[in-house]
Amino acid sequence: MSLGTRNLISLDLFTDAYRVTGHTKVGVGGIHAELANPNSNFLEIQDAYISRINQPGEIVTHYQEAAFRKNNINFIVLQDRRVGIPVGTQHGRSIYTRGRPIPAFLTVPSFEIKGEIIHEGKVAPRDILVKSIGNYLLIFAAEASASLYPNIAYSGDLIMVSKDRIGLIGLGKK
């Protein structure tokens, strides 16, 4: 990928009440750079399908292009963890692949998320939240279940959880 090149990645974004499925263009910094871009409060989504959390099979509306407010994101589901690993790390030697897997349970508005955090060092929720890089906590081999509708679940190779939206984090139980 050369400087200035933008790749299209697939993702599912979740708010308190909605799921938005689509694609976004990311530059050399990847999805993390797009989310951390201080020049825009919005993430542009192409081919955006919007559904309610409690009715996942029913599409409310579809837009070829939409802008999604970044601070409204609870979490992002990615099917390929490589597009969610911060750029500047090699996948095999990344800080997100070193360390040991730790079972994790998190809550965000309307959802419970289970999976694994890859972490070196002290296994304590506060330490993991403070020492992890960026505004998103990476949960590998993860599943998100709707709190009020536990039979409605979404899974992915990686779920990026907004640290600002985490209500509870528990570690160590499967």
Residues in contact with 115: Cβ distance below 8 Å, sequence separation at least 6, in sequence order: 103, 104, 139, 140, 141, 142, 143, 159
Mean pLDDT for the chain overall: 87
pLDDT single digits (tens) 6-28: 789 999 999 999 999 999 998 88
Is 46 inside any structural domain? yes
| Neighbour order of strands in the sheet with 111-119 | 55-69, 42-52, 18-26, 7-14, 75-78, 153-162, 136-146, 111-119, 100-108, 168-171
CB-side exposure of 172: number of CA atoms within 13 Å? 5
Residue 137 lies inside a defined structural domain of this protein: yes
Q: Is residue 1 part of a domain?
A: no
Residue 153 lies in a domain: yes
Number of domains in the chain: 1
CATH number at residue 111: 2.30.30.100
pTM summary value: 0.87
* Domain of residue 103, residue span: 7-171
Q: Is residue 2 part of a domain?
A: no
Q: Looking at the domain assignment, is residue 126 inside a domain?
A: yes
pLDDT digits (tens, 9 = 90+) for 116-137: 998 887 888 888 888 777 899 9
C-beta separation of 133 from 160 below 8 A: no
